[in-house]
Amino acid sequence: MSARERSMLVEIAGAPFDAGRRRSAAEAPGATARRTTARASRFELPGGACSLESGGITGGTVPLTPVHGEPDPDGADCVACGRCCHHGPQTVHLLEADEARMGERLLPIYTELQDRPPHFRFIKNAGERCGGLDVSTPEQYPCAIYEVRPEDCRIVEPGSPACLEARRLGHLGKSLGFKRER
C-alpha cells in the first residue's frame, strides 16, 4: 500500500493506518491481544479480529466487504447493503431534535449518554455496528428506528458522499464528506 493510500486511510478512519491494519499471526506471537483502535474497541488475536462488548470479548467479527457499483438512487438496495450502519462507537451523535423525535421510550433502549462533559448522546454501538440495526435476518440490514433515526443517519442518502464511502470501505468512515448537500 502506498504512502498516499495510507494517508487517505488516516483521514477517513481518523486513526493511524498502522494501528488499524490487520496483523498476521506471525506479527502477533502468542495470544497477546493488540488494541487496534481506541474508538472501535477491536483487538487482533492470532485467530482474527475480536470486539470488546460489555467487558467481554466476542470473536469472529469481520467487517462487511465493500460493495462495488453505484447504489440505487431510490434506495432499493439500502437494506441489502447496510454498510453505512457499520461503524465504531460514538459515531452517530444525537441532536436535541433527534432526542425529541426518539422520545423517552426509545432513548434508553437505543442511546447512551457520554459519561464525561459535555455529555453528548450517541446511538449505542458495541464496536462494529449501530445499535439500531436489526440483524435478525441474514444479509438484510433494516433499521429498527428508521422513522425516528437521527440526523446523522438521514444525511446518508443513497448516492451521497457518505453512502458511497461506506460502500467503498465496507463500513462508514470519518471523511469530511459527511455533510448534507443543500
Kindly tell me if the per-residue pLDDT of 80 is higher than 50: yes
CA distance 70 to 93: 27
Please report the pLDDT score of residue 40 as a whole number.
33
Predicted confidence (pLDDT) per residue in 29-69, tens digit:
333 333 233 333 333 333 333 333 333 223 334 467 888 88
Domain ranges of the chain: 1-62, 63-182
Amino acid residing at 123: I
SS (H, E, C) the chain: CCHHHHHHHHHHHCCCHHHHCCCCCCCCCCCCCEEEECCCCEEEECCEEEEEECCEEEECCCCCCCCCCCCCCCCCCHHHHCHHHCCCCCCCECCHHHHHHHHHHHHHHHEEECCCCCCCEEECCCCCCCCCECCCCCCCCCECCHHHCCHHHHCCCCCCHHHHHHHHHCCCCCCCCCCCCC
CA distance 100 to 82: 25
* Band of residue 174 on the pLDDT scale cut at 50, 70, 90: low
Average pLDDT over residues 13-29: 35
Residues 6 or more apart in contact with residue 62 via CB below 8 angstroms? 48, 49
Please report the pLDDT score of residue 63 as a whole number.
61
* Average pLDDT across the chain, whole number: 70
Average pLDDT over residues 103-110: 96
CB 92 within 8 A of CB 150: yes
Kindly tell me if the per-residue pLDDT of 177 is higher than 90: no
* C-alpha cell recorded at residue 32: 497477546
Kindly tell me if the per-residue pLDDT of 131 is higher than 50: yes
Average pLDDT over residues 118-146: 91
Count the neighbouring beta carbons within 10 Å of the beta carbon of residue 110.
Answer: 21
* Band of residue 10 on the pLDDT scale cut at 50, 70, 90: very low
Q: Comparing 25-39, 67-81, 126-140, which segment has the lowest mean pLDDT? A: 25-39
Q: Comparing 7-16, 108-117, 135-144, 162-171, which segment has the lowest mean pLDDT? A: 7-16
* Band of residue 123 on the pLDDT scale cut at 50, 70, 90: very high
Give the pTM: 0.58
